[in-house]
Amino acid sequence: MDVTTFHLADGTAVPRLGFGTFQLAGDDAYRSTLTALEAGYRHVDTAQGYANEAEVGRAVADSSLDRDEVFVTTKLKPSNAAAGDVRSSTGQSLDALGMDHVDLLLLHWPAEHVAPLGETLEAMTRLREDGLTRQVGVSNFPSQMLTRAYEHAPIVTDQMEHHPFLGVAPVEQVLRGRGGFLTAYSPLARGEVADDPVLTEIAEVHGVTPAQVALRWMLQRPAVVAIPKSGTPERIRSNFDVFSFELTAEQMDRIDALERGHRLIAPEGGPDWD
Ligand SMILES: NC(=O)c1ccc[n+]([C@@H]2O[C@H](COP(=O)([O-])OP(=O)(O)OC[C@H]3O[C@@H](n4cnc5c(N)ncnc54)[C@H](OP(=O)(O)O)[C@@H]3O)[C@@H](O)[C@H]2O)c1
């Protein structure tokens, strides 16, 4: 298995360890993204709702990398789900990023209270045809809604909360059946992985941190991409340093067994999770 890259059927290469930027603002967002790119990350996750697209874009531009060496994802705010707003707000995102396209455009949350699902996803697909995004996907879509989304767009991923304490098997199953990948957000359970005794014990065996173990566990499973966030340079670097050790099958099983439906992000009015 390729632990560094997920390959879509059309040949697109998706770096499996990306950098999350939620709650990074202003100069912090710029410096942290630049640190991540210098450390080796080649995939950056932002969103209209994070108000940091300009800083993320500036970090990509100021890095030593060419634009096409970095996989850039942004997400549409649900309030921009009507067809006209999909196009105009994506234009604003690209202006802020200073880019002529993103690699992946996601619908951040289900938004059927704003526009029918088909309207939003078909508008996103037209942006793909026009070259403003290379791929389209969704986020926070439970499996049945994800299945419906495929009626309207060539979805490549569903970005979902996922970490050792929260599985998303039904969504993974739908994605795998379609050649797509799961993007795991909050892969460190917002830092809680650092306090887990099983992850800590396995980490000690390998001389790494529990966060590194949690990320490595994701990379040793098929079709999972993870986007940890940190604003701390040392953690940004160590979270990417997960390619020089390997978990045994027994260690993988022990981490699988930590699943306990521990959901950290469940806003009021959110979808019915499965
Ligand atoms: N689609 C969605 O609805 C959605 C929702 C949430 C998140 N996301 C995306 O997913 C990304 C990651 O999720 P997240 O930010 O919620 O959570 P996360 O990546 O699981 O955890 C981030 C937290 O863990 C801490 N941390 C980082 N590395 C650590 C380490 N090695 N040891 C201990 N603690 C560590 C960070 O602190 P420091 O920063 O202080 O180091 C921060 O408090 C976001 O940034 C965003 O891009 C998407």
CA of 23 to the centre of ligand 1 (A): 9
pLDDT in tens, 38-53: 999 999 999 999 999 9
- With a 6 Å cutoff on the Cβ, whether 73 touches ligand 1 is no
Q: Is the per-residue pLDDT at 1 higher than 90?
A: no
Taking a C-beta distance cutoff of 8 angstroms, is the pair 157, 137 a contact? yes
- Of 19, 32, 146, 188, the one to substitute when testing ligand 1's pocket (max ligand atoms within 8 A of C-beta) is 188
The distance in angstroms from the start CA to the end CA of the chain is: 28
Mean pLDDT in residue range 248-262: 98
Determine the pLDDT at residue 269.
87
Query: Which residues belong to the active site?
Result: 50
Q: Taking residues 74-79, what's their average pLDDT?
A: 98
Question: Given this model, what pLDDT does residue 60 score?
Answer: 98
pLDDT confidence bin for 37, thresholds 50/70/90: very high
The pLDDT tens digits of the residues spanning 106-140 come to: 999 999 999 999 999 999 999 999 999 999 999 99
What number is the average pLDDT over the span 22-27?
A: 98
Query: What CA–CA distance (Å, rounded) separates 101 from 22?
Result: 21
Domains in the chain and their CATH numbers?
5-191+222-244 (3.20.20.100)
* pLDDT value of position 115: 98
For residue 150, how far is its CA from the centre of ligand 1 (angstroms)?
Answer: 28
Question: What is the DSSP secondary-structure string of 34-101?
Answer: HHHHHHT--EEE--GGGT-HHHHHHHHHHSSS-GGGSEEEEEE-GGG-SHHHHHHHHHHHHHHHT-S-
Residue 17 has pLDDT above 90, yes or no: yes
pLDDT at residue 254, as a whole number: 98
Determine the angle formed by the axes of helices 53-62 and 83-97, rounding to 10 degrees: 40
pLDDT of residue 24: 98
CA dist., res. 78 & res. 105, Å (int)? 13
| CA of 230 relative to ligand 1 center, distance in Å | 6
**Residue 116 · residue 152 · CB < 8 Å:** no
Average pLDDT for the chain: 98
Backbone angles phi, psi at 93, to 5 degrees: -60, -45
**Residue among 17, 19, 21, 22 to mutate when testing ligand 1 (max atoms within 8 A of CB):** 22
pLDDT at site 20: 98
- In this predicted structure, the answer to whether residue 98 has a pLDDT above a threshold of 90 is yes
Q: Is the pTM here over 0.95, yes or no? A: yes
Give the mean pLDDT of 208-237.
98
Cβ–Cβ < 8 Å for 149, 141: yes
Centre of ligand 1 to C-alpha 231, Å, is: 9
- pLDDT at residue 101 greater than cutoff 90: yes
- CB of 33 closer than 6 A to ligand 1? no
